[in-house]
Amino acid sequence: QVQLRESGGGLVQAGASLTLSCAASGRTTNYLNIGWFRQAPGKVREFVAAVGWNGNTLRYGDSVKGRFTISRDDAENTVYLQMNSLKPEDTAVYYCAADWNPSVIVRTTPGEYDWWGQGTPVTVSL
């Protein structure tokens, strides 16, 4: 079992930056490919970014490319999502998810992840 805990959400103005954290714990934190998703009210869960367990394989959703950066610190068992130039349409609950796989695979579909955090809300005002 893997437990994930997100933090760092909050209320910011458009154009601001925010960094989210996803801390992993449990029986094994090796070979965890981590993804960030978000879900706005009334909308489906959307892929944001993912990083393979090697830290070098990255993928981003089209709506955040060039503004968001995903990274990981394996010494801290934590994955970060640096969000710059935030827009009101970035408002959502942000979730991190983990997929255990010895292969480095960055998945973009929610159903492909095994464990989820409880989410952290991000609100971007005009």
For the chain (126 residues), the mean pLDDT of every run of 10, in chain order, is: 96 98 88 96 97 95 98 94 98 97 93 97 97
Pick the closest to residue 4 from 123, 121, 122, 114 (CA basis).
Answer: 114
pLDDT value for 33: 95
pLDDT value for 28: 74
35 φ, ψ (degrees, to nearest 5): -125, 150
What is d(CA 42, CA 51) in angstroms, rounded to the nearest whole number?
Answer: 27
The 10 Å Cβ neighbour count of residue 66 is 9
pLDDT value for 125: 97
What is d(CA 126, CA 115) in angstroms, rounded to the nearest whole number?
Answer: 34
